[in-house]
Structure 1
């Protein structure tokens, strides 16, 4: 009996050791799309200290790992956390605090919405965003007469859905000092019969927005956290915030270090001297949640507001081709400085003339194959003669599929045949380098990346139009679309070694959906819901 007691004690100690936790999380019984090089699937993976430590079969992994938390996915599909390669995260959050004009069907509906907002928010500037005259029966830009009568003293600015045009009232024009006949490079101050209409396009908008008081610290924090909550609810775990000022780097970093801001952000600083000075002196900034190594430059405006710079006249506006927002020399100098300092250049280019100018400037510096990953944001209309620049110089086309399905109703009127065939050509652009990052451009479009997937694959709007899809020769396959919003989006940010797939060593960012987007019928894709979202293996959203 005395000999038996030590043996029993040893057995008990050994049993206790076997039950010690050696992992934080085990996800099992899922259809796990790893999005690795071979695009294999698994049914389980293990997470420890925020990173994936094993991927494979549940029975094998359970023999090795004893996790503190076990998630039974019950056969549901699991994907890498979705990445939005082009968005305006902070501005979207600010917009949540303003008048929402998205979906308004007339100028009168806009005014009703603004009036209600003004009643609830009695002080200061009235700010709104989201109207689109292309959705109205009368598709002309509105003018400010009714706005002036409703708000004779209180300044109002209402930005178009694309962010490249706005209508303001006379009170706002007075504060900004805008006068009839005034001109600005890269912008337009609209007049009819010698009178200001209140419509400002591209750089002209900035004359007024610079007069709006800066958000308070609380407003800024509320904007970031409000945007985060909505993004997590649609499965986003990383966003590319395109066009921030350097002060936001510290704000975002501080909130992330406190643990309140968990969204990972790839921040592009705006094309401003103070932002170049900041990053050139400091160097690239990288933390687990924040990556700052890129600059966002604007070549032209938007097609919807006729600010896109075209090689030939607009089909619906004779003798008008839009304009570049700066002269070519500016873009050449900026590109040279960014190149010399080793940073990434990401340039908004919509029209075929703007794309040609920026592609040529890129090519003159990149001089062939390279791994700089300089990006053209949108690449919306590209002349067939210029497509070669992407492959020859490894220039990355960064596109937003929902632009195609939002614009298709009126884009033909702007461009005409055959130029429309060179627009929203995502498959052709993907083929140049063999990969393409996808985004939404929210708040211009809806933040839901599943709408991105749907638009890329099915090429229809949420009403299922057109019946046969829009220019289906440029649809992406489901595999390509999923890669575009995971591993390829990560690659466009130089982050493919740390995210974008469910592989050992990468961050445990993943999303569980209620249906499999790789198999569900195309028309059902917009109805797929996010069940839960995880960042670093921590649940940050769960569907109620």
Structure 2
């Protein structure tokens, strides 16, 4: 018996050693000691998680994770806060990257300031064939009127100039650029307008008219395109973005992104909305939808109308500050419906830019006609900015997703009532009403129209105030949304709107290990501080990218 017991001792010791550590599963990363908002179905909190092969493999308390997993890479959060990687549900990622090398006109408080910025830019970019700029907004100027090309003609009579408004739906061109585009006082184009003064072009082009000139701007080289994507990615990682919806891309850009993903020079996850050109439709309808861990190609971006600031948004009644103007659609309802049937038959999501109440009604009715009733096609209205009271229930009836940009409300609130009047403004930027239709809403920024920082949108959604926390009482506070819903809108609901909810949007077992670390708690920090909170770390697939 003694020998028998002696024989059991080594076995017992081995068993103890095994249970004390050897049985722990080896993983690539363990994060512990934090406040983790998982944004799972119960919006539960955790303290720790383990990552292996780019995915979350366990989420729970620090004691549970540390007792079951081991890693050479251990991150003690020491009370810091973690969120799922932020998703921008509507942006222009590639365009933002290319905008970093042209004149930045954002925030110009006068036309003189605009000219100063253009000349400074030109002085350091003499080699560029065109002078390009973006970001001006006449609503910020003392005289809130569109500029004219006269000054540009004086400064640059032999160099084409094209300066795009902040929303991308209007541009100022000099005479040289107009000549290259063949634009005259007699030019007419569907879905666009050439503004005239005393029977001559002022240089301002609205919506589709911009294309008459912009198509002549030289394409970026391959290296310039790659540099633009890498620069955009670097800036987005700094503010916690791990996925972006790029609204309106051609095949060559999508394929470049895919190749850069393969080469690991691009790590930003992309939901690509395709430009609906004839060539793009033919190619992608034959190819079919595509999805991997870094790229989803399943939708087309359609433009319904223009923008409110340039009076191109299509309204049911005339503009309050211009009774001769109602805006316009950028295509005919017949063509929109044809596109809708093509999207439906080929299994693609239709995502349509709709600002004005007329554009929203037209496209909602077309969606309804094609979708019939309840469905899981997840067709989206991008912006859903002004929706009449009679139309808002169509989002619920036909399972249409509102994809909105909260900072549009706080950027436009200074002048939007001038455009719409006291009653119609109440049907604009109605995020809570839209959320209640289907119990979800996708939040984005529309950058570079707005800033890339998703915390600006979070603040605008919950506080309805600008970066100076004005107005103190908030703008149309009946349509603020809760912090919980705002976080969902930039994580799990944005993922759902992209058919990616099984891949990302929450910190759960099996999902891609995308997460953001912050020192402060978005759920508790004072509203006036929300825009100023800093991201400490951004991770994609468990890899630190910032």
Residue 319 of structure 2 corresponds to: 314
CA distance in 2, matches of 1:11, 1:491: 46
- Which residue among 152, 164, 169 is the counterpart of 1:164? 169
Q: How many residues align?
A: 540
Q: List per-residue Cα deviations over 1:138-162 (Å, max 9, x = no partner).
A: 1100001101111110111000000
Measured after TM superposition, the shift of residue 396 of structure 1 is 0.6
Over 3 Å counting, the alpha-carbon distance change for 1:491 and 1:5 in structure 2 is: closer
CA contact 1:83–1:490 (8 Å) conserved in 2: yes
- TM-score between the two structures when normalised by the length of structure 2: 0.96
CA distance in 1, matches of 2:250, 2:494: 22
CA distance in 1, matches of 2:74, 2:23: 14
Structure-to-structure mapping, 1:95-244, within 5 angstroms: 95-123=99-127, 124-244=129-249
CA contact 1:498–1:507 (8 Å) conserved in 2: yes
Matched, 1:348 2:368: no
CA contact 2:24–2:68 (8 Å) conserved in 1: no
Over 3 Å counting, the alpha-carbon distance change for 1:20 and 1:169 in structure 2 is: same
CA contact 1:21–1:68 (8 Å) conserved in 2: no
CA distance in 2, matches of 1:317, 1:340: 41
CA distance in 1, matches of 2:71, 2:471: 49
Structure-to-structure mapping, 1:308-457, within 5 angstroms: 308-457=313-462
Residue 55 of structure 1 corresponds to: 59
- Which residue among 274, 289, 293 is the counterpart of 2:294? 289
CA distance in 2, matches of 1:90, 1:69: 33
Residue 487 of structure 1 corresponds to: 492
Measured after TM superposition, the shift of residue 21 of structure 1 is 6.3
CA contact 1:19–1:66 (8 Å) conserved in 2: no
CA distance in 1, matches of 2:112, 2:484: 44
3-state SS, counterpart of residue 420 of structure 1:
helix
Measured after TM superposition, the shift of residue 18 of structure 1 is 1.9
Measured after TM superposition, the shift of residue 97 of structure 1 is 1.1
- Which residue among 40, 49, 52 is the counterpart of 1:36? 40
Structure 2 alignment gaps of length 5 or more: 1-5
- Which residue among 93, 96, 110 is the counterpart of 1:92? 96
Structure 1 alignment gaps of length 5 or more: none
Residue 261 of structure 1 corresponds to: 266
3-state SS, counterpart of residue 545 of structure 2:
strand
CA contact 1:382–1:423 (8 Å) conserved in 2: yes
CA contact 2:93–2:246 (8 Å) conserved in 1: yes
- Which 10-residue stretch deviates more, 10-19 or 208-217? 10-19
When the two chains are superposed, the root-mean-square deviation of aligned CA atoms in Å is 1.8
CA distance in 2, matches of 1:166, 1:400: 22
Residue 3 of structure 2 corresponds to: none
CA distance in 2, matches of 1:80, 1:403: 24
Q: List per-residue Cα deviations over 1:153-172 (Å, max 9, x = no partner).
A: 01110000000000011111
3-state SS, counterpart of residue 207 of structure 1:
helix
CA contact 2:25–2:68 (8 Å) conserved in 1: no
- TM-score between the two structures when normalised by the length of structure 1: 0.97
Q: List per-residue Cα deviations over 1:370-419 (Å, max 9, x = no partner).
A: 10000000000000000111010001110000000000000000000100
Measured after TM superposition, the shift of residue 247 of structure 1 is 1.3
